Amino acid sequence: MKDFDSYIPSWFHDFVQWGNDLIWTQNLIFLLLLAGIFFTISSRVVQLRWLPEMFRVIFEKPETLDDGKKGISSFQAFAISAASRVGTGNIAGVATAIVLGGPGAVFWMWVIAFIGAASAFFEATLAQVYKVKDEAGGYRGGPAYYIERGLGQKWLGVIFAILITVTFAFVFNTVQSNTIAASLNEQYEFSNITTGIILAIITALVIFGGVRSIATVSSFIVPIMAIGYIGLVGYILFMNVDQIWPMLQNIVRSAFGLHPAFGGAVGFALMQGIKRGLFSNEAGMGSAANAAATAAVSHPVKQGLIQSLGVFFDTMIICSATAIMLLLYTDLQFGPDAEQGVAVTQKALTTHVGEFGGIFLTVAVFMFAFSSIIGNYYYGQSNIEYLTKNKIVMFIFRLFVIAMVFVGSVIQVQTVWDTADLFMGLMAIINIIALFGLATVVFEVAKDYRSQRKRKLNPVFKIENINANFKNIEAWGNNPYNHESSKVDTNKQTQNTFDQTDYHESTNEVIDDEQDTLNQNNKDE
């Protein structure tokens, strides 16, 4: 590992450190909190108000594509994004955050997940509105698409597409393969080089299978690994039920510097919690929006709800499970010199449940991380297709992905995490600026969804029913259930075909009645 890492020049390490200090210390934490709070307030806490609706739409059947085949379902799109979200950030990342930032880092991970769920709603809804058809008859989209089509800034869309491709397909995949290699080496003293070769071969077999192959694999892996992991942590909680309340007190007190051992670490706990929380749940980064765009749904808001639910699933459930297990580990050490990452998580689980714990976590790490490799690759593929249709470029891109999976297995963990922090920070800044610029689009689309649900309809998105002048929308035609393509005239002021009195009632009036209506609808249905 040391020999391979020595090939990386010292100036690269210095540049990454400088970039992280500039982005995270001076800008991004404030921007993430500001965006999350703004989207939470402006949507009137959509992540809680529409929680029942999220569970209603996640199991809807996919709509039929023009070729007669079923498209990617809401659940499959959720699984693709969850495959990327639920990865080593949930195991190694949480461990690193707690070791470096103390128990208080967990609190700030919860905070960024709660407000970030609103950001996820906005970006996924926009991804659906501005999605386009791909050559296979399905859909693709994401921030690069809504930056170009919604904001009219193609140059910024190109920059974002390059950033997300490098970040996810290359940098983040080195994080995943690095954690798999570290886990196998810790448990079985397995060679990192051998692990890298095996991972590269398996990755090649999956990514050359296409997006439907990715959706199939993701929808199979994610539920299995999540249920098993949560079940084991549930058992640990049951066996340590008397420690739950003191542990929660410890988390909150440490977050605000009230714990004697972490009195001076409030800022570091905040930074670690937000960094590792963003890496894990990706809310506001723009990545999950690429998966959201693939779903064949009747209304964009449905994927906004699904991806908002995905943030809760990732952080409030999976990350919390890891945090609970670690904080119940009596030998846990804190500070930059303490053991970090997957190694400390394996030792904690082994202490709780014996040798089985280490074996189980090795399997879980492989499943978590490999599902992330699959999801990360798709994000890169979608944005390569945005940049060029050249098949040779796509083939070379796939080869680079496979190569980086191998490289990640044999380089030092700190290099991997620092580089990931830098690139995801750059992505988040661009995406959040775009979300602010297109927020009014989401307001109008969400208003249409609310109006239809209030009238006991299954919402269908039709451009002519939106009281706004949308531009450059191609995937939503006159028959949204088949998603017939018909580009909207950019000079056309769309006319509202709903009853004008019904549709133009005030937004506040619709919102006030909305939850009661949804609850009644769920009973009726």
Write out the DSSP string of 167-205: IIIIIIHHHHHHHHHHHHHHHH---HHHHHHHHHHHHHH
Burial class (CB in 10 A: 0-12, 13-18, 19+), 478: exposed
**CA torsion, points 43, 47, 51, 53, in degrees to nearest 10?**
50
pLDDT value of position 487? 41
Q: What is the pLDDT of residues 372-389, one digit of tens each?
A: 788 788 888 888 988 988
Query: Could you tell me the sign of the dihedral formed by the alpha carbons of 208, 211, 217, 221, in that order?
Result: positive
- pLDDT tens by residue, 332-351: 776 665 566 677 888 888 88
CA distance 315 to 334: 22
Q: State the pLDDT confidence band at 134, using cuts at 50, 70 and 90.
A: confident
Rg of the Cα atoms in the chain: 23
For tokens 């929308």, what's the residue?
473
Can you tell me whether residue 7 is helix, strand or coil?
coil
Say if residues 132 and 141 touch (Cβ distance below 8 Å). yes
CATH code given to domain 2-448 = 1.20.1740.10
DSSP state for residue 480 in the 8-state scheme: T
C-alpha 484/C-alpha 147 separation (Å) is: 23
Task: Give the H or E element holding residue 370.
Answer: helix 355-387
Q: What is the pTM of this model?
A: 0.77
- Distance (Å, whole) CA 371 – CA 263: 38
Neighbour count for residue 123 (Cβ, 10 Å)? 32
Which pLDDT band holds residue 273 (cuts at 50, 70, 90)?
confident
Q: 45-49, 217-221, 498-502: lowest mean pLDDT where?
A: 498-502
Helix (H, G, I), strand (E, B) or coil at 70: strand
Task: Tell me the torsion sign for CA atoms 195, 197, 201, 204.
Answer: positive
Q: How many CB atoms lie within 10 A of CB 525?
A: 8
CA atoms within 13 A on the CB side of 425: 25
Percent over 90 (pLDDT), the chain: 19
Q: How many CA atoms lie within 13 A of 392 on its CB side?
A: 0
* Three-point CA angle 137, 140, 142, nearest 5°: 170
Domain with CATH 1.20.1740.10 in the chain: 2-448
User: How is residue 308 written in tokens?
Assistant: 């908002």
Residue 408 in tokens: 């990640």
Query: In this structure, which amino acid lies at residue 289?
Result: A
Segment 438-497, tens digit of pLDDT: 999 999 999 999 999 999 888 888 887 777 667 778 777 654 444 443 344 433 333 333
